[in-house]
Amino acid sequence: MREQAERRGLRALVVGGYVRDRLLGGDREKQIHEVDILVEGQGATQLATAVGAALQLHPPVIFERFGTAHLDIDAGHALEFVSSRVERYDPASRKPDVSPGTLRDDVMRRDFTINTLLMEWDGTVLDLTGRALSDLNARRIVTPLEPKTTFDEDPLRMLRAIRFATILQFTLDPSIESAIRDQSGRLQPPTVSMERIRDEFSKLLLADQVQNGLELLDATRLLPRIVPQLEAGKGMLQGGWHSHDVYGHALLAASLAPPELITRLAALLHDIGKPAVHELRDGKPTFIGHQEIGASMAGPALRHLRYPGEVVDAVTKLIRLHMRPIQYDPQGWEDKAVRRLVRDAGDQLDRLLALARADMRASHYPDVKKIDDLEARIRRLDADAIAAIRSPLTGEDLMARTGRPAGPWIKRVKSALEDAIVDGTLPADPQAAWQYLEAHPELLGP
C-alpha cells in the first residue's frame, strides 16, 4: 500500500480503530478486522483501485459522493479508503454536505478523540487534536469538538460513546454524559434509523461489562428510547430469592448470560411481563403467567428494533419457556416431562438452559446445579431424537380422512400426537396414530 501511494504521490495514513487498538494492545489488537486508510486530498478511490489490482483482489466498491472505497482482503478482513474531508449536516437529516478538507479537518469531524489518531507507514503516531493520546492513556471517551456539535452531526454517536466506554472499559467525560442526557430524544427515526440503533445496541449487549453499559444507557436516558419495556420493572420488588427489583434483575441476568445475542436479548427481556401480572397475595408479590405476557411483549419490541424474524422467534420462545427448567424437580419429573421440555425447546434447548442458569444466578437461587443435572438427564434421553419427533399424520392426511377444512384443529391434533409419542404411549407411525385418534375421539373435537 505504501508503494502504491508513493508511486502516485499520495499521502496516506492509517486512522481510527486500528491505531487505537494497536496502542491498547492485548486482545484488542488481535480483534482487528478492518483498517481505515485516510488519504490526504482526493486520492482515496485511486489508491484503493491500485492496491486491489496489485494484490489481485476483486475491484473495490467505490462511493463517489463521499470519495471513499471499500476493499475486501479476505472473508474476515477489509480496507476502507477515505479522502480527507469536511462534513456539514442538516440538523434534521443524516445526509452530510461533503467537501474536501485537510487531515486535521477530517480527524476533527470524527466521533471521539481516541478514534482520531493517525499512523505513518513507519509506525509514527500523529495526534492532530493535541489530546487524543492523553485521552487514550487516561482511558477516557471525549469528543474532538464540543459534544453537542459532535452529536448534532450524528445522534447515533451518543449510543456509540456508551458502547465504546463499555467495551473498552473507559469512562465518559462528564461533558459527554450531560450532552447525551440533553439530546437523548434525538436517538430515534427519522434522524437515526432503527437498524443503526439496533446494530450499536447489539454490539453493546455482547460486551463483557454489559451491565455497566446498560446502567450507563439508563443514566443518560437512552435505554428507555431503545427498550422502554424495562421501565415498569423499576422499583418492583419480587421477594423470594430475589434481592433486586425486576429491572435490576433483568440487567444482572443479561450480564450473567453467555455473550451471544439471542441469549442476552432473552435474558434482558425475560421478565418484562411481570409488571402486567403483578399481584400481592398474603402480602407477597406474585407474577403468574408473566412468561406468556413477556413473550407477547418482546415480539413487538424486537420487531420495532428491526431484528430479523429468526431472532424474534428464538427470543420469544426462550421467554415463553424460561420458567420450565427452573421448575425442574429431579425427583418429581418423570422422563416424559423432560422429553416434553426438549420437544418444546427444539433448537433453542441449549440457549434455554443457559438462560435458566443466568436467571437463577441473578436471583441467588440456592440450587443452580439442578440445571446441570437436567442437562445430563436430557443427554441420557437422547435430546436430538426427541427434538426430531413429528406427528406421523400431516395436515393433508387429517383433512382427507375427516373431510374437514383446514383450521386450528389440525395443529391441536398434531400436537397431541407428538405429546403421545414423547410420553411413550404411541409409536411414531401413521396406522398407530389413526388407532390412537379412534380411541380418543375428543382430540378431533370442534
Amino acid in position 127: D
- Per-residue pLDDT of 386-413, as tens digits, reads 777 889 999 999 999 999 999 989 999 9
Give me 408's grid cell.
386450528
Does residue 184 lie in a domain region? no
> Is 246 among the domain residues?
no
Query: Are 19 and 104 members of one domain?
Result: yes
89 and 21 within one domain? yes
Q: For residue 149, give the C-alpha cell.
A: 456539535
Q: Which residue has 426430531 as its cell numbers?
A: 388
Q: Are 429 and 321 members of one domain? A: no
Give the chain's residues under pLDDT 70. 89-95, 446
**Does one domain contain both 354 and 407?**
no
Determine the 3-state secondary structure of 260 from DSSP.
coil
- Residue 419 and residue 307 share a domain: no
Coil, strand or helix at 207: coil
Question: Residues 437, 444: contact at Cβ < 8 Å?
Answer: yes
Q: Report helix angle 194-205 to 261-269, nearest 10.
A: 90
**pLDDT per position as a tens digit, 182-211:** 999 999 999 999 999 999 999 999 999 999
Q: Looking at the structure, do residues 266 and 339 belong to the same domain, yes or no?
A: yes
Residue pair 101/86 in contact (Cβ under 8 Å)? The answer is yes
Per DSSP, 55 falls in state T
Alpha-carbon span 298 to 304, nearest angstrom: 10
- The residue segments making up the domain with residue 70 are 1-132
Residues 6+ apart with CB under 8 A from 399: 405, 406, 410
Q: E-assigned strands of 222-300?
A: 279-281, 284-286
Give yes or no: residues 283 and 306 share one domain.
yes
9 and 104 share one domain: yes
Final residue of a domain: which of 100, 132, 164? 132
Residue type, 187: L
Is residue 228 within 8 A of residue 197, CB to CB? The reply is no
CB 109 within 8 A of CB 100: no
Round to whole Å and give the CA distance between 327 and 350: 17
Q: How far apart are CA 269 and CA 259, in angstroms?
A: 15
Question: Hey, how many other C-beta atoms are within 10 angstroms of the C-beta on 26?
Answer: 8
One domain, residues 268 and 332: yes
> Do 414 and 379 belong to one domain?
no
- pLDDT confidence of residue 32: 83
CATH number at residue 95: 3.30.460.10
Contact 410, 399 (CB under 8 A): yes
Cβ within 8 Å of residue 340, ≥6 positions away: 419, 422, 423
Instruction: Give CA–CA dist 112/293, Å, rounded.
Output: 41
The three three-digit cell numbers of residue 76, written as one number: 474476515
> How confident is the model at residue 90, as a pLDDT?
66
Strands 12-15 and 118-119: antiparallel
Residue 172 forms part of a structural domain: no
Cβ neighbours around 191 below 10 Å, total: 15
> 3-state SS string over 152-191?
HHCCHHHHHHHHHHHHHCCEECHHHHHHHHHHHHHCCCCC
pLDDT at 241: 78
Answer whether 166's CB lies under 8 Å from 213's CB.
yes
Classify 96 as helix, strand or coil: strand
Residue 213's nearest CA partner among 248, 163, 168, 158 is 163
Q: How far apart are the first and last CA of the chain?
A: 73
- Grid cell listed for 280: 400481592
In a domain, 149, yes or no: no
How many domains, the chain? 3
Residue 67 and residue 103 in one domain: yes
Q: What is the DSSP letter of 192?
A: S
Of 132, 154, 187, the last residue of a domain is 132
In a domain, 62, yes or no: yes
Are the C-beta atoms of 41 and 72 separated by less than 8 Å?
Answer: no
For the chain, how many residues are written?
446
